[in-house]
C-alpha cells in the first residue's frame, strides 16, 4: 500500500499538469489565446499530492517504481535527464466486430424482430472494412495523444462501436449500412432563412454542416457577425510584430478558414442540430469509394424500440463513431446536452441507405423524409409493426415589421397676403411641400430617408 501511494504521488506530480491539456481533435483553443499572439501559460498547480487515478478514464493502471544507485552526486544527477524518467506503455485490446444475431441483440434486444430477415442477411457475413479502418484511426489518435501526454478518451468512448455491417436484402436487393454504436450529441449548423434556435453547446461548434442548399432569402445568418468579429481579431493579431513564424502561419490558416466560413454563411443554408434530425459518420466512411454512403442519404435510428427517420447530414472525426443531432438526442433523452449524451453503451442502431439521397439537396421536409424512410425500410424488409417517431417543425414565423405611423397633417392656417411666409430652409415661398418643411411640428422628427423595414443587423 505504501508503494502504491508513493507511485500515485509521483505520477500525479509529473502527469497532471500535462494531462489537463485538451484532447487534440476534440476541442479548440480559447479564441482569446488564439488571437493574442502570445504563448499560453501552463496551468498553475499547488505543490501537493493528487489522486492520479482520476486521470485515467476506465484504464486499469499498473505502476511500479524502480531505483538503482548511480555514480553521480545529486548536483550532477539533477542535470541528467535519464536519472529521473517515466516510461509509459498503453495496452488496448480491441473488441471484435459483432456479426451474429446473438452478439447484436446483446446490445439491442429483439433487433431481429424489427428486421425479420436479419439472420439470413448475416449468414457468412464479414465485418465491413470500415470497422478495421476505424480502429486504425483510434490507434493513431491514441499514439499522438499519449506521446504528447494529452488527455486520453473515456473507455466507453474508445469502445464506441459494436459493429459495422454492409447488409443486402436478398429478395429486394436493397442495401443498407448497419452501425451499432453509442450516441454522441451534435449541435452544429445554422440557417439564415429559417427562424430556428441555435445552441452552441461547446467551443467546437461549427455553423456549417455538409448537408447544405442555396439560400433563398437575403436574411443574415445569425452566426455571421461572430465570425466577422473573429476575423477582425485574427487580422489585428497578424499585424503584431512579435509573432514567430509558426504563430504567423497558424494565424494565416485561421484567417483563411474564417474567410471561407463567411462566404459559405452568405451563400448557403445548413441543417440545424437543435432542430433537424440527422446523423453523423466519420469522414472516411462517406463518399470515398463506390457503394459508400453520401451526404443526404436517408437513414433511420433505432433506440429503445423506436425508429427515428433521419438523413446523413454531416461528417465527424475519423476516430469516433455514433453521433446524432441534438434534436434526435433530446427526443431519446430530454436531458441530452453538452455534458450528457443519450447512450454511452453501443446499443443504438444506425441504418443508412447508400445511394438514396435526392439531389440537389433541399431544405428539410420532414413529412417527405419520413415517407422515404418508411419506403426504404419496407424495401429492406423491416417490420410493419415497428413504432415510428414523426417529426414536426420547430421553425417560427419571422416577426412582421411594424411600419412607422403615418402622420396626420393639419392644414396650415391661411396667412394674410401682406405677410408672405418663408420657411427656415431658405428663400422659398409657402408653395413648398409642408411634409418636408422643418417648420412643421408634425413632421420635423421624420427623416427624409426613413424606412419601415428593420436594419439587417437586427437579424444577426
Task: Give yes or no: residues 306 and 182 share one domain.
Answer: yes
Task: Give yes or no: residues 178 and 321 share one domain.
Answer: yes
111 domain-assigned: yes
Task: Give yes or no: residues 236 and 139 share one domain.
Answer: no
Calpha distance 284→340 (Å, rounded): 26
Residue 19 has a pLDDT of: 45
444 domain-assigned: no
Task: Give yes or no: residues 348 and 221 share one domain.
Answer: no
Residue 443 has a pLDDT of: 34
Residue 233 has a pLDDT of: 93
Residue 77 has a pLDDT of: 83
374 domain-assigned: yes
Range of the domain at 63: 2-37+47-83
128 domain-assigned: yes
21: number of CA atoms within 13 Å, CB side? Answer: 15
199 domain-assigned: no
454 domain-assigned: no
Task: Give yes or no: residues 143 and 260 share one domain.
Answer: no
Which conformational region is residue 243 in: left (phi greater than 0), alpha (psi within -120 to 50 degrees), or beta?
A: beta
Q: What does the block give as the cell for 252?
A: 494565416
326 domain-assigned: yes
Residue 283 has a pLDDT of: 97
426 domain-assigned: no
Phi, then psi, of 161 in degrees rounded to 5: -125, 125
Q: List the beta bridge partners of residue 312.
A: 279
Using the 3D structure, point to which of 344, 370, 388 is the last residue of a domain: 388
- Residue 311 near residue 351 (C-beta atoms within 8 A): no
Residue 386 has a pLDDT of: 93
Phi, then psi, of 300 in degrees rounded to 5: -130, 150
Q: List the beta bridge partners of residue 163.
A: 180
Task: Give yes or no: residues 346 and 302 share one domain.
Answer: yes
Q: What does the block give as the cell for 125?
A: 457475413
Q: What is the pLDDT along the chain (460 residues), one digit of tens a residue?
A: 444 454 444 445 445 444 444 433 333 334 343 444 444 544 544 545 444 444 556 777 777 888 888 898 888 888 888 888 888 788 899 999 999 999 999 999 999 999 999 999 999 999 999 999 999 999 999 888 887 766 778 888 899 999 999 999 999 999 999 999 999 999 999 999 999 999 998 888 999 999 999 999 999 999 999 999 999 999 999 888 788 888 889 999 999 999 999 999 999 999 999 999 999 999 999 998 889 999 999 999 999 999 999 999 999 999 999 999 999 999 999 999 988 999 999 999 999 999 999 999 999 999 999 999 999 999 999 999 999 999 999 999 998 876 666 555 555 554 444 333 333 333 333 332 222 333 333 333 333 333 333 333 332 2
Calpha distance 85→379 (Å, rounded): 61
Task: Give yes or no: residues 236 and 308 share one domain.
Answer: no
Mark 430-458 as b/e (b = at least 16 C-beta within 10 Å): eeeeeeebeebeebeeeeeeeeeeeeeee
Task: Give yes or no: residues 298 and 378 share one domain.
Answer: yes
Task: Give yes or no: residues 183 and 283 share one domain.
Answer: yes
Report CA-CA distances (Å) from 111 to 132, 168, 380: 24, 16, 14
Task: Give yes or no: residues 79 and 151 share one domain.
Answer: no
Task: Give yes or no: residues 229 and 128 share one domain.
Answer: no
Using the 3D structure, point to which of 372, 388, 404 is the last residue of a domain: 388
CATH number of the domain where residue 143 is located:
2.40.40.20
Task: Give yes or no: residues 110 and 156 share one domain.
Answer: yes
Using the 3D structure, point to which of 388, 407, 423 is the last residue of a domain: 388
Domain count along the chain: 3
Amino acid at each position: 500500500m505504501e508503494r502504491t501511494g508513493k507511485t500515485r504521488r509521483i505520477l500525479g506530480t509529473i502527469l497532471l499538469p500535462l494531462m489537463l491539456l485538451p484532447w487534440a481533435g476534440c476541442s479548440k483553443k480559447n479564441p482569446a489565446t488564439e488571437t493574442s499572439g502570445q504563448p499560453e501559460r501552463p496551468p498553475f498547480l499547488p505543490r501537493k499530492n493528487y489522486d492520479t487515478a482520476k486521470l485515467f478514464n476506465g484504464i486499469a493502471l499498473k505502476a511500479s517504481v524502480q531505483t538503482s544507485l548511480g555514480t553521480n552526486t545529486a548536483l550532477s544527477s539533477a542535470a541528467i535527464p535519464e536519472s529521473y524518467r517515466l516510461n509509459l506503455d498503453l495496452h488496448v485490446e480491441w473488441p471484435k466486430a459483432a456479426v451474429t444475431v446473438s452478439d447484436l441483440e446483446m446490445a439491442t434486444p429483439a433487433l431481429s424482430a424489427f428486421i425479420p430477415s436479419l439472420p439470413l442477411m448475416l449468414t457468412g457475413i464479414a465485418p465491413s472494412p470500415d470497422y478495421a479502418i476505424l480502429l486504425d484511426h483510434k490507434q493513431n489518435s491514441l499514439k499522438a495523444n499519449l506521446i504528447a501526454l494529452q488527455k486520453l478518451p473515456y473507455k466507453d468512448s474508445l469502445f464506441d462501436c459494436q459493429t459495422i455491417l454492409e447488409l443486402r436484402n436478398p429478395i429486394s436487393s436493397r442495401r443498407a449500412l448497419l452501425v451499432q454504436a453509442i450516441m454522441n450529441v451534435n449541435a452544429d449548423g445554422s440557417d439564415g432563412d429559417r427562424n430556428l434556435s441555435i445552441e452552441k453547446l461547446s467551443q467546437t461548434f461549427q455553423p456549417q454542416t455538409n448537408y447544405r442548399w442555396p439560400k433563398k432569402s437575403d436574411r443574415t445568418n445569425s452566426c455571421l457577425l461572430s465570425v466577422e468579429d473573429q476575423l477582425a481579431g485574427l487580422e489585428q493579431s497578424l499585424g503584431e510584430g512579435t509573432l514567430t513564424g509558426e504563430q504567423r502561419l497558424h494565424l494565416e490558416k485561421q484567417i483563411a478558414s474564417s474567410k471561407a466560413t463567411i462566404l459559405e454563411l452568405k451563400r448557403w443554408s445548413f441543417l440545424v442540430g437543435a432542430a433537424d434530425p440527422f446523423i453523423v459518420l466519420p469522414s472516411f466512411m462517406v463518399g470515398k469509394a463506390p457503394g459508400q454512403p453520401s451526404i443526404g442519404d436517408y437513414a433511420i435510428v433505432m433506440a429503445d424500440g423506436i425508429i427515428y427517420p433521419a438523413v446523413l447530414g454531416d461528417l465527424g472525426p475519423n476516430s469516433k463513431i455514433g453521433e446524432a443531432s441534438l434534436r434526435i438526442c433530446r427526443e431519446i433523452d430530454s436531458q441530452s446536452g453538452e455534458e450528457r449524451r443519450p447512450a454511452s453503451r453501443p446499443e443504438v442502431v444506425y441504418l443508412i441507405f447508400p445511394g438514396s439521397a435526392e439531389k440537389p439537396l433541399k431544405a428539410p421536409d420532414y413529412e417527405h423524409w419520413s415517407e422515404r424512410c418508411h419506403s426504404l425500410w419496407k424495401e429492406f424488409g423491416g417490420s410493419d409493426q415497428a413504432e415510428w417517431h414523426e417529426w414536426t417543425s420547430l421553425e417560427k414565423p419571422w416577426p412582421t415589421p411594424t411600419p412607422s405611423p403615418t402622420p396626420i397633417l393639419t392644414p396650415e392656417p391661411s396667412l394674410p397676403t401682406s405677410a408672405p411666409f418663408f420657411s427656415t430652409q431658405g428663400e422659398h415661398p409657402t408653395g413648398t411641400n409642408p411634409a418636408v418643411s422643418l417648420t412643421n411640428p408634425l413632421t420635423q422628427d421624420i427623416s427624409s430617408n426613413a424606412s419601415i423595414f428593420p436594419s439587417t443587423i437586427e437579424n444577426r
